[in-house]
Amino acid sequence: MASNSRVTIAAHALAWLELARRRGQGSLTSDEVAASVNTNPVILRRSLGDLKRAGLVTARRGTRAGFSLARPAEEITMYDVWMAVAAEPLLALHRSEPNKECPVGNGIQPVLTDVYDEASSAFGTALSRRTIADMLDRILK
């Protein structure tokens, strides 16, 4: 199973946009952000599109085109980032129905749902405690 780096790419992009803002640069092009992330600009634009749809970044076209944060970095949590780019749940049940004739197969889904709900809640709570501003401050130390 491959790791999902979409949240990492999005967090990196947001931190870079915040640093640019702190340095007096209003916006960055997707190519500028992609260079920092060291990824293909097409992949980065997909991530920025997700962040735009979630209201975390704004995009300007034409003269001085680029991306910037849609709200203060102190108000953008890692949970916001997760919700913007993670299309799938953190943990999922079987892709196909387990064998209901088996004692484990018959009862595992409700038990796992409880465990997964608890784990997802803890994950969300942990991500909600960290903002893009917090992360950038730690990066710059």
- What token pair was written down for 108? 């595992």
All domains in the chain, ordered by first residue: 6-140 (1.10.10.10)
Longest dimension (CA), the chain: 65
Amino acid code (one letter) for 122: A
- What token pair was written down for 93? 């049940």
Element (H, E) at 59: strand 57-60
Q: What pLDDT tens digit does each residue of the chain (141 aa) get? A: 455 789 999 999 999 999 999 999 989 999 999 999 999 999 899 999 999 999 999 998 877 789 999 999 999 999 999 999 986 778 888 888 889 899 999 999 999 999 999 999 999 999 999 999 999 999 999
* Alpha carbon distance 97, 34 (integer Å): 41
What integer pLDDT is reported at residue 79 of this predicted model?
Answer: 94
Q: Does pTM top 0.75 for this prediction?
A: yes
CB 20, CB 57: distance < 8 Å: no
